[in-house]
Amino acid sequence: MKIAVAGTGYVGLVAGVCFAEKGHDVTCVDVDEKKVKMMEAGNSPIFEEGLEELMRKNNAAGRLHYTTDYAGAYRDKDAIFIGVGTPEQPDGSANLNYIATVSRQIAESVERDCLVVVKSTVPVGTNDKVEQFIHDFLTRDVKVEVASNPEFLAQGSAVYDTLHAARIIIGTESREAEALLKKIYEPFGLPIVSVNRRSAEMIKYASNDFLALKISYMNDIANLCELVGADIDAVAEGMSYDARIGANFLKAGIGYGGSCFPKDTKALKYLAKQYGYQLKTVEAAVDVNAMQKTRLYHKACKRMITFEGLKVAVLGLAFKPGTDDLREAPSLDNVKLLLENGAQITAYDPVAAGNFRKVYPDGAVGRGSISYADTPEETLEDANICFVFTEWEQIRSLPPETFKERMRIPLVYDGRNVFDVKGMKEAGIEYYSIGR
């Protein structure tokens, strides 16, 4: 089928590439000409395992195209997928301006009947508004329906998650739209759950917020474990054997980040408020996560007199391994506090350092300073204290002795419970983690 995808970010580009991999003819649309040329050369604007390889393969096969000419791209397609951003606004609601812009462009460009499919995460009821908005601005006598098809991708494994999804959720209001979406996804050979549009929109929020709840619950339990002398890793292992609970999302740490959980929990909280309802469980998850992000920093404050002039090693900047995404990353909150208190930071991340530099360039920042190292070992050299914010394999594989040998003071605050408590202490390291 002939498909257009609006937006070449995390959602849109992965979807477009995977549709092409399954044999569809795909045109990816973006407003940035420089980005388009980059993708035409087979280079991905985002770091995602396996993405560039599939881009180059399908570019060469002639199934994958990129353009800034939205009118030409939307004119004659069977389906147009919208994968643009819906960033969080100050009040927690979703900003739908990009959705509206693309919807109007589609309305003014389509020359044949087509299905518009919203993959972006949007509040319940948005697809109804998108359909009406497109009908309001149609310039030709064509039939355009709107469907919901939320994504369920984990950054760092988005390509795999798309090609091997546990299920495909499609939300439609007609048998014709349902049949077309099923035909598009038929080559994937995956289970399809077909519901109405509003249910599909809610499934996305309910799924993400449930996982956020699970993470915050484990972090809350971890904090209590520290007080009562229990070990959160042992507690999580014991829980994981219960099929009703499952083994995933039981790992305690310094909170969730990224483009989904923080935004989606706040958006669902805002939606409930609009209907006069209070989602107390989701509000609790948001509150716990906000406090958890800087828990280790405040624990370190009780140990240190000051951070002024101290060399601080920061291992890991991305919100999770496998991505260069810094959105809502705990590193941002902690580095800000450290710099405000005069720390001299040396930071390391194998992928996200470039993006972090855009926020904090090398050099003096307020009372502190920041520089970037090429290896974890270089980061630790002569450090007075070390914080671990991302569990990259390059960091996980560090022997405990490395901290002892490289650091001036072997003092480590591990926000991801990467290292063995006993092993670190036996190596002569003063070691603090979460819930252990």
CB atoms closer than 10 angstroms to residue 136: 10
Terminal C-alpha separation, the chain: 53
Contact 180, 115 (CB under 8 A): yes
Nearest to 375 by CA among 290, 308, 315, 295: 315
Q: Is 301 annotated as catalytic?
A: no
Tokens (6 digits) for 227 = 């007080």
Angstrom distances, CA of residue 203 to CA of 43, 99, 155, 268:
33, 20, 19, 11
CA distance 31 to 185: 27
For residue 244, give both structure tokens. 């009703």
Question: Tell me, what amino acid is at 299?
Answer: K
Query: Which residues have a Cβ under 8 Å from the Cβ of 124 and sit 6 or more positions away?
Result: 198, 201, 202, 205, 271
Instruction: Name the active-site residue from 18, 28, 260, 386.
Output: 260
Report how far residue 44's alpha carbon sits from residue 12's, in angstroms, rounded to the nearest whole number.
Answer: 12
Inter-residue contact 86 to 271 (CB < 8 Å): no
Q: Which residues contact 65 (CB under 8 A, 6 or more apart)?
A: 25, 26, 27, 28
Distance of CA 371 to the CA centre of its chain: 25
Angle at 302 between CA 377 and CA 228, to 5 degrees: 100
Tokens of 221: 């339990």
Token pair for residue 108? 């003014």
256, 290 contact by CB (below 8 A)? no
Q: Tell me the residue type at 238.
A: G
What does the alpha-carbon distance between residue 118 and residue 204 come to, in Å, rounded to a whole number?
12
- The set of residues, in sequence order, having a beta carbon less than 8 Å from that of 266 and lying 6+ positions away, is 88, 92, 286
Distance between CA atoms of 193 and 133, rounded to whole angstroms? 27
412: region left, alpha or beta (phi > 0 left; psi from -120 to 50 alpha): beta
Q: Where are the beta strands (DSSP E) in 150-222?
A: 168-171, 192-195
Residues acting as catalytic residues: 260
